[in-house]
Amino acid sequence: MFETLQERLGSIFNGLTGRGALSEADVSAALREIRRALIEADVSLEVVKSFTDKVREKAVGATVLKSIKPGQMVVKIVHDELVEMLGSEGSEIDLNAPAPVVIMMVGLQGSGKTTTTGKISKRLHEKRGKKVLMASLDTRRPAAQEQLRQLGEQIGVATLPIIAGQNPVEISRRAVQAARLGGYDVVMLDTAGRTHIDEPLMAEMAEIRHSADPHEILLVADSLTGQDAVNLARNFNERIGVTGLVLTRMDGDGRGGAALSMRAVTGKPVKLIGVGEKMDALEDFHPKRIADRILGMGDIVSLVEKAAETIDAEKAAAMAQKMQSGQFDLNDLAEQLKQMQKMGGMGGIMGMLPGMGKMKDQVAAAGFDDRTFARQLAIISSMTKKERTNPDLLKHSRKQRIANGSGTNAADINKLLKMHRQMADMMKMMGGKGGKGKGMMRGLMGGMAQKMGLGGMAGMGGMPDLAKMDPRQLEELQKQAEKMQGKLPGLGAGLPGLPGAQGGLPGLPGLPRKK
């Protein structure tokens, strides 16, 4: 699988990664090639388009890290976008429901439904210690029920006794009842297939679904079928709803387009892949491994990841040191404001903090919005270098000049300076020489650097990742917040999520008081 795509992408990137500089035209040309390669691999058109759009957007805005060549950066972006397209890592079969948990298998004839029903049953039995009952609801193909019975014998999993003349819905009811009485954990319903999707098939599936109330509906799709598989998935999903996908014949030499598009089209995770005819030829789906395989450029990807980590860590450490020594000048404040803009402004930042929902309204009511960031940045950029490092220079006439330059007024400037002073004081306090504070500051920076991901710079200080902080750090933060009560304008209600904490949120520029 994926061999052709692998070759094509390989040659596109080989032409790119060695180069010292890349123009926008170079990136566009590479993207055109990538688009063609994906289409040839049978990836659905809409998926290709959204894929290349996202890569373009990220490639154009990316900061090229020192020690990394631009082409390598593009490889990393394509890799990450591939992983994103393939969906999340390790989606297991969900058995989190009262027993017996019903799993309904759907798909076209010959897609590997029956084989996969056996494989999954065997896995649930052997790896997760579940007592499984399998039932074939295929009354159209005479040998189908018998085929499943034999499969059950082979793998040591029980099957529902065959009663001639029952329809699929009756069989599904009997299966659930038998499972309940027999103390089974899981019931696997292997439904009938058709050569193509038609109304009677969909109606039958909907009826079974209604009567058996399955917890999982897994669509089994042949990864060799290309575009058709994508339409099939869309149809099944819209009509009866699926909870996950199983891609079979991933051991074959198909172009892989279906495998690449299915999750993007349905939004449902690929839970497992079939890699052979044998009963244990079933594997978990690992998007990252597949992306690595397709690109065949694992070295470059990890090189870029390492460079990004090192630079983030270096910048965060430098900033932390500056703050500890109380050197938090207006350049640093500007960096912080920019960082916040990057994080999606106020809305984005609040969304990252637990329990910030309520605060959003207060912030809005205080008249603080994303334009405030822009205004504050304009003020700082209208200052001279000297003024930025030494705000004490800012007396009346200088303020007037800055106000004119930034389209603001003296009151705005005073507000900004006050905010900066308070933040600088707080930074000093928090970064105080006692080891604890230092650790806390590092924690804050680290959390932020992580949140920022690749595109971010250093997590220029500031937003604590409360969810990841250890309890001691939280306690320390709370104490500092209490000390700071009233010292920071705005945010009077304190930090929700820190029980009982009052006062400002370290790192967030103070909000103007309500007029």
Q: Please give the residue ranges that form the binding site for ligand GTP (CB under 6 A).
A: 107, 109-115, 138, 141, 144, 193, 248-249, 251-252, 274-277, 281
Residue closer to ligand GTP (CB basis): 11 or 150: 150
Q: How far is the CB of 163 from ligand GTP (least distance, A)?
A: 19
Alpha-carbon gap, residue 171 to 193, rounded angstroms: 16
DSSP code string of 68-108: S-HHHHHHHHHHHHHHHHH--S--PPP--SSSSEEEEEE--
**Closer CB to ligand GTP, 109 or 389, in the complex:** 109
Report the nearest approach of ligand GTP to the CB of residue 143 (Å). Answer: 9
Question: What is the closest distance, in whole angstroms, from the C-beta atom of residue 498 to ligand GTP in the complex?
Answer: 51
Give the H or E element holding residue 363. helix 357-365
Nearer to ligand GTP, 226 or 509 (CB): 226
In angstroms, give the least distance from the CB of 115 to ligand GTP. Answer: 3
* 146 versus 369: smaller Cβ distance to ligand GTP: 146
Q: Output 115 or 336, the one with its CB closest to ligand GTP.
A: 115
Within 8 A by CB and 6+ apart from 269, the residues are 87, 88, 91, 244, 245, 263, 285
List Cα–Cα distances, 231 to 45, 269, 379, in angstroms: 12, 16, 54
* Side chain identity at residue 57, one-letter code: E
Specify the DSSP class assigned to residue 367: T
Would you report the helix, strand and coil content of the chain in percent, each value rounded to 5? 60, 5, 35
In whole angstroms, the minimum distance from the beta carbon of 203 to ligand GTP comes to: 17
In the complex, minimum distance from the CB of residue 63 to ligand GTP, in angstroms, rounded to a whole number: 43
d(CA 204, CA 486): 66
| CB of residue 289 to ligand GTP, shortest distance in Å | 17
> At its nearest, how many Å lie between ligand GTP and the CB of residue 249?
4
Peptide bond into 496 cis (omega under 30): no
Check if the beta carbon of residue 183 is closer than 8 Å to that of residue 194: no
Binding residues: 107-114, 190-194, 248-251
Distance of closest approach, residue 331 Cβ to ligand GTP, in angstroms: 59
Q: How far is it, in rounded angstroms, from Cα 157 to Cα 321?
A: 63
Where on the phi/psi map is residue 290: left (φ > 0), alpha (ψ -120 to 50), or beta? alpha
Closest contact distance (angstroms) between CB of 147 and ligand GTP is 7
* Closer CB to ligand GTP, 141 or 173, in the complex: 141
User: Nearer to ligand GTP by C-beta: 223 or 376?
Assistant: 223
Q: Which of residues 201 and 413 has its CB atom nearest to ligand GTP in the complex?
A: 201
3-class DSSP state of 76? helix
Q: Which two three-digit tokens encode residue 99?
A: 């027993």
Specify whether the CB–CB gap between 433 and 413 falls below 8 A.
no
| In the complex, residue closest to ligand GTP by CB | 274
* Tokens, residue 51: 């894929």
How far is CA 482 from each of CA 466, 494, 508, rounded to the nearest angstrom? 16, 9, 16
* Cβ within 8 Å of residue 24, ≥6 positions away: 60
- Nearest Cα to 229, choosing from 204, 212, 206, 252? 252
**Binding site for GTP: which residues?**
107-114, 190-194, 248-251
User: What is the nearest approach in angstroms of ligand GTP to the Cβ of residue 145?
Assistant: 10
Q: Tell me how far the alpha carbon of residue 361 is from its chain's centroid.
A: 27
Nearer to ligand GTP, 226 or 507 (CB): 226
Give dist(CA 378, CA 58) in Å, integer. 26
- Tell me whether residue 126 or residue 277 sits nearer to ligand GTP (CB atom): 277
Helix (H, G, I), strand (E, B) or coil at 104: strand
- DSSP code string of 36-62: HHHHHTT--HHHHHHHHHHHHHHHHHP
Residue type, 182: G
- Using DSSP's 3-state secondary structure scheme, residue 92 falls into coil
Name beta bridge partners: 101: 186
Closer to ligand GTP by Cβ: residue 1 or 30: 1
